[in-house]
Amino acid sequence: MVRRTRLDGDTCPVARALDVIGDWWSLLIVRAALDGDRRFSEFHRTLGVAKNILAARLRTLVDAGILKIVPAPSGGAHHEYVLTRRGEALRTVIAALREWGEENAPAISGPRM
């Protein structure tokens, strides 16, 4: 396994940001959360990511203060993932990536809904 280089002490703010949210699954999870996904099963269905990868990325995003775990409104043992203020602040990043992708990386089968 390749060891990940930590960038949290770097002087560059871009490097520090990438240390927190720099892998594609994390950004796609944040995008899905911004689009309304809150439960593990919703993220899994939306993204099609392996459950072990999803669980690891959700844990990382919670640890980083991007998401928080709250009890599901229906009660029971279920819980949901909601964006924190820090997570909501990524809305502009996701919007900029979406705009860049639409202009510079067009979809073969049409735009994502």
Q: pLDDT tens-digit profile of 31-79?
A: 999 999 999 999 999 999 999 999 999 999 999 999 999 998 887 788 9
Structure tokens at 48: 């099609």
pTM score: 0.83
- Whether 2 is covered by a domain: the verdict is no
Domain with 37 in it: 13-103
Q: How far is CA 55 from CA 13, 50, 62, in A?
A: 27, 9, 11
Q: How far is CA 38 from CA 13, 14, 59, 92, 95, in A?
A: 29, 27, 14, 20, 19
- Whether 39 is covered by a domain: the verdict is yes
Q: Which domain CATH number covers 24? A: 1.10.10.10
- Whether 6 is covered by a domain: the verdict is no
User: How many structural domains comprise the chain?
Assistant: 1
Q: pLDDT tens-digit profile of 73-95?
A: 887 788 999 999 999 999 999 99
Stated as kind and residue range, the H or E segment containing 79 is strand 79-83
